[in-house]
Amino acid sequence: MQTFSRAGLTFDVADSGTPDNGTVVLLHGFPQTSHSWRKVTPILNEQGYRTIAPDQRGYSPLARPRGRFAYRIGELVSDIESMIIQSDSATVHLVGHDWGAQVAWMLAATRPDLISTLTTVSVPHPAAFVASMTQSDQLRRSWYMAAFQPPKLPELMIARKPEIFDKMLAATGMDAAMIADTHRLVVDSGALTGGLNWYRAIPFSTPGAIGRPITVPTTHVWSAGDTALARKGAELAGEHVAADYRLRILEDATHWIPEQNAPELAETILERIRSI
């Protein structure tokens, strides 16, 4: 599966391995692409799993609709729902990091029939995230979500003062190679506006399934060095899972777990899969 299509959009897909033991879908976050899973997929492939990692809406060159309204969460979730159906997999093991975790939570809530297990990384269940705003310093940590709202201004700032953007990424734990990848794969490729539109569409996203419990076996992974997500959200996430639930905390990790802690994350995914 090199691509899939939905609603007139065509999405690029990194598909590898064989489905001897099942299929794992890996969803990236901001500001990254499927490239962020390149250290995790070989480990899963070696264990007999097919891995499917799409470049999501706004990131794939042929899936960049104009206007923030096209990036509301319902559309993002429907993209991945369609991809799973087109992949010829009866069910999949779903994994998401950052914004990809948000999509994964919502898809597991609305289409549990497609999901065998769920592993979310960094971003907790959306209801837990909202609750953490008043129970921790999460609101302060989320300042960038408001900064990304104005049209064109963030893109203009990054184009004119890339060192400011680089400094922000470095403060979250990205190393020089990862920052260079962000410029090459997101900024220079024209994907930045699409990625930012995920944030800009938040005011247009209806609550929908935000309060619906997750009914598939779930593991949430959070890192103590995450500058964007408070510990409280991770602690509250389990309250929204009506199935076997595990919380794994990586004490010496930053936000960028798929790239910087690939062996630990892959083992956590495999532990969740093998638990059923």
Which pLDDT band holds residue 211 (cuts at 50, 70, 90)? confident
Cis amide prior to 151 (ω within 30 degrees): no
Q: What share of the chain is helix, strand, coil (3-state, %, to 5)?
A: 45, 20, 35
Q: Per-residue pLDDT tens for 78-89?
A: 999 999 999 999
Q: Is the pLDDT of residue 76 over 80?
A: yes
Tokens 């994350």, located at residue: 265
Q: How far apart are CA 135 and CA 234, in angstroms?
A: 12
* % of the chain residues with pLDDT over 70: 99
Q: Is the pLDDT of residue 208 over 70?
A: no
Q: In CATH, which superfamily holds the domain spanning 3-274?
A: Alpha/Beta hydrolase fold, catalytic domain (3.40.50.1820)
State mean pLDDT over 194-215: 87
Residues ≥6 apart with Cβ < 8 Å to 97: 27, 28, 29, 36, 121, 122, 123, 257, 258
pLDDT at residue 207, rounded to an integer: 65
Given a contact cutoff of 8 angstroms between Cβ atoms, the answer to whether 216 and 66 are in contact is no
Q: Per-residue pLDDT tens for 82-122?
A: 999 999 999 999 999 999 999 999 999 999 999 999 999 99
The packing angle between helices 153-160 and 192-200, to 10°, is 140
Q: Per-residue pLDDT tens for 127-161?
A: 999 999 999 999 999 999 999 999 999 999 999 99
Q: How far apart are CA 83 and CA 95, in angstroms?
A: 14
Q: Is the pLDDT of residue 209 over 70?
A: no
The domain ranges of the chain are 3-274
Overall size of the chain counted in residues: 276
Which pLDDT band holds residue 62 (cuts at 50, 70, 90)? very high
